[in-house]
Structure 1
């Protein structure tokens, strides 16, 4: 017996309606966030920057940011294999020591436990990133968490690509 429906395998389910557009309703705040993001990114390795943005966004469940920063990572030449491996980075051979340290710090900053960021994650990243880049890495972790709170709270959704 065959069941037919009106839906096809190519139909997508619409995202929940956006709650508010902060760029429109609070442009000064949005501009300040953009400036914060630009300052955090200044001098940070672009590949590390995008890997951190993707991982933090995955952890926070921000579909808009995962989509946006995955596309940005691809534009930098980060492979699909590496992007797919971000969710399981500890179990893959795709990441450098610096990328691993950045991802560990990003996870620790995102999942602040009762005791904050563990010394091991902080110290390893501080050891592998120089005195100029490490503060930018930490700032990117903080900034991306803030962006994700905006995206999730406002119900920002990625566009469907053909």
Structure 2
């Protein structure tokens, strides 16, 4: 909240209290956590790291996963991604000019796989992704990466994992 006092403006920076996580799932299901870490590492192989972070950020936005947004926006910025592209990602359809055609196809596929509004990924979305990822192995890796970030998001949102403490370069 900003208030005017005389000729100066003061900003109230007292934030709401941090909510504790509901459950430290990795502590209570360590084998599942270790398997997820291995799956995540396998899914990222062969994908451009900047593209991968855009996909992870977009899925995390759609899933409202604050922990993953904190992590992947920081990692993207640490890798040299522009603040502008990260900010515009939530409105990518109106700001397409910030992204390559390949990135747009990956973002659109991410939305289709994440939301599954009609219970399936539309043919035109899949075909566009296949056109921009003609190597089927790379397309399969992209689908795997989208699936894995969605799984991470489900853990983060369900257990209400706390954002704000992640430092770039640390991984789940």
Q: Could you say whether these structures have the same fold, taking a TM-score greater than 0.5 normalized by the shorter chain as the test?
A: yes
Taking structure 1 as the reference length, the TM-score comes to 0.91
Taking structure 2 as the reference length, the TM-score comes to 0.86
Residue 65 of structure 2 corresponds to residue 62 of structure 1: yes
81-90 or 11-20, larger mean C-alpha shift: 11-20
Pick from 124, 147, 150: which aligns with 1:145?
150
- 1:128 alignment partner in structure 2: 132
Shift of 1:15: 3.0
Residue 123 of structure 2 corresponds to residue 119 of structure 1: yes
The CA deviation string for residues 21-56 of structure 1, in whole angstroms up to 9 with x for no partner, is 122111100000111111110111111100000000
17-26 or 65-74, larger mean C-alpha shift: 17-26
| Structure in which a larger fraction of residues adopt strand | 2
DSSP-derived class of the 2:17 partner: coil
- Unmatched tracts of structure 2, length 5 or more: 6-10, 167-172
Pick from 160, 163, 167: which aligns with 1:158?
163
- Unmatched tracts of structure 1, length 5 or more: none
DSSP-derived class of the 1:113 partner: coil
Distance (whole Å) between structure 2 residues aligned to residue 41 and residue 109 of structure 1 = 17
29-38 or 10-19, larger mean C-alpha shift: 10-19
- 2:77 alignment partner in structure 1: 74
Distance (whole Å) between structure 2 residues aligned to residue 89 and residue 105 of structure 1 = 13
Residue 23 of structure 2 corresponds to residue 31 of structure 1: no
- 2:19 alignment partner in structure 1: 16
Q: CA RMSD in A?
A: 1.7
